[in-house]
Structure 1
């Protein structure tokens, strides 16, 4: 048996993000089955209730982990913001601008003002528009990351780092509780993003542990066992409890999968998963967009034939989108030179 340390998650980060985007697509299918009460039983019901959208937590965790490596390699904050904003805003603009024009201006007839508010995430807070909510959350995470990095990197040792992590997660949790208590409507709109900030913060702290190759991989066994037990208490009336438990369980499973990858020769499988991981942002944008329009046109993706069309078209269009994004990015670099 090969010896592993905390860097194993970084080593297989691309493949794990590939698994995560696949599971998100599966969740959307189960969510449609639940919404339309179509074959909502068996593994579909189990997945929707206990796994749900927790793979998004894995994305945020691995984003935080990867950002630590990126900042250690190149600590210039201005350069960090430019690189990250280009990476997320270029594909977002390509997909979201025509989508909101079609949805708000052409279909719903709510006008350009509504399209602009949707695009800038204003309606996410006011009306709960969640079409591209993940992009808004990632923009926030990128904005605050340099400050989180300073907190993570200035920790004296692992214990000091864990105390800081617990303190930051507790602060976000208290904020969520206050909003849920006094602004229930706002909490209903933003909890999908707010309750995922802790897992991003945890990924930032784990990034240092991974970077320094600490040997505390055994902690994942404890988290897996504890979260697995707490899963039996779902569904829960507390969205905070449910979000935290499913998120911890999902990331613990990712740690287990990374360990399996490190022990077995699975390069062909890993390469396929890495392709999905490399295209994950584009897949997310394209998938939720095509799904939105298909449902609007009464091609309900709870039905398997329509789901297959959705998945296949998402993969093809996401591949084209990444080529387009790369072309625009390269063109911008050439002009800058």
Structure 2
């Protein structure tokens, strides 16, 4: 195992924490009136979701690879169910229960939102979870298919995905705009899967990082920035070098305090992502931002501070609750 792969494995939870914090900072722009330059910098926080995707692809690959050809699909689905579906359902049913059942008195809307159909139809809700569900369902089948002729099939799938996404962005921009995050995530997943199978040398991570940075700079300085697909995918791929650099810095720091704090955010990264979205929605629905502005919170710092505080608290509570429910449903 090379150093980069070792660091990513060792600090995976902390890197997830960095990604979660990036998402929280990115979402702050919905409430806080940051100076233009800070607002622009925090806009890159959304890359945190693609760090989730990249780490997930590496984790899924090694999870099945370590179990050999006769791995247990039922066991795979149980772990994914416990880690993603249980916390999502508990959190989504709580929030949509308030929004759709209590406020709107509409049970069909509740089902529509909790099922993630609202994302696929109207781009509402947590797109990351909506994307994860089919990815996890299909992954074992894709793994079995790809491993027979791994390099050729994954590269072919990657090339087709890139071409298809680019064509969609040109020919059906409305649909592409609606599903751009999903298109980018699929490509990041495939690159992550491919990288996971070639982690024998540090050079692979360095080369991948270099390519991503160079492509982003070329896009930024040329007319390529006018193509929505190119802008989206080069932005999403910055998650690769950020992941590698984060693992390197964490290994240099070797700080228990830093690891503990980031570990908390990483352990509850899914819950943090969901509650951050839903608490922000609650702020606007209940006009909390306007109420606090009238009391002096002109720029939204107090409002978003409360969003983060309640998000952290709810994430910890629902993280523990999810563990209890998962154990009751599927055992250890």
TM-score by length of 1: 0.84
Measure how far apart 1:92 and its partner are.
1.2
- What is the rounded CA distance, in whole Å, between the counterparts of 2:279 and 2:209 in structure 1? 38
- What is the rounded CA distance, in whole Å, between the counterparts of 2:118 and 2:329 in structure 1? 31
Q: Deviations over 1:49-68 (max 9, x none)?
A: xx251111110000011111
1:282 aligns with one of 261, 266, 271: 271
- What is the rounded CA distance, in whole Å, between the counterparts of 1:10 and 1:209 in structure 2? 15
Report what 2:220 is aligned to.
232
Report what 1:102 is aligned to.
98
Q: Is 2:214 the counterpart of 1:217?
A: no
- What is the rounded CA distance, in whole Å, between the counterparts of 2:160 and 2:255 in structure 1? 41
Which structure 2 residues correspond to residues 164-313 of structure 1 after superposition, within 5 A?
164-210=153-199, 216-230=204-218, 232-233=220-221, 236-300=225-289, 303-313=300-310
1:317 aligns with one of 314, 318, 322: 314
Report what 1:54 is aligned to.
47
Which structure's residues are more often helix, by fraction? 2
Measure how far apart 1:279 and its partner are.
0.9
TM-score by length of 2: 0.85
Q: Deviations over 1:288-337 (max 9, x none)?
A: 11111112122339610011101111111111111111111222345x9x
Unaligned runs of 5+ in 2: 293-298
1:327 aligns with one of 318, 324, 327: 324
CA contact (8 A) 2:219 2:230 kept: no
Measure how far apart 1:252 and its partner are.
0.7
Measure how far apart 1:14 and its partner are.
1.2
Report what 1:79 is aligned to.
75
Measure how far apart 1:102 and its partner are.
2.6
Which structure 2 residues correspond to residues 144-159 of structure 1 after superposition, within 5 A?
144-155=138-149
Alpha carbons of structure 1 residues 57 and 149: separation in structure 2 relative to 1, 3 Å:
same
Measure how far apart 1:154 and its partner are.
3.8
Alpha carbons of structure 1 residues 21 and 188: separation in structure 2 relative to 1, 3 Å:
same
CA contact (8 A) 2:86 2:322 kept: yes
Measure how far apart 1:215 and its partner are.
5.1
Measure how far apart 1:227 and its partner are.
4.0
- What is the rounded CA distance, in whole Å, between the counterparts of 1:45 and 1:261 in structure 2? 25
Report what 2:57 is aligned to.
64
- What is the rounded CA distance, in whole Å, between the counterparts of 1:52 and 1:26 in structure 2? 6
- What is the rounded CA distance, in whole Å, between the counterparts of 1:241 and 1:295 in structure 2? 33
Alpha carbons of structure 1 residues 152 and 267: separation in structure 2 relative to 1, 3 Å:
farther
CA contact (8 A) 2:123 2:178 kept: yes
- What is the rounded CA distance, in whole Å, between the counterparts of 2:247 and 2:146 in structure 1? 24
Deviates more, 1:251-260 or 1:226-235: 226-235
Structural RMSD (CA): 2.7
Measure how far apart 1:221 and its partner are.
4.6
Number of residue pairs the alignment of both structures matches: 319
Deviates more, 1:305-314 or 1:283-292: 283-292
* SS in structure 1 at match of 2:288: coil
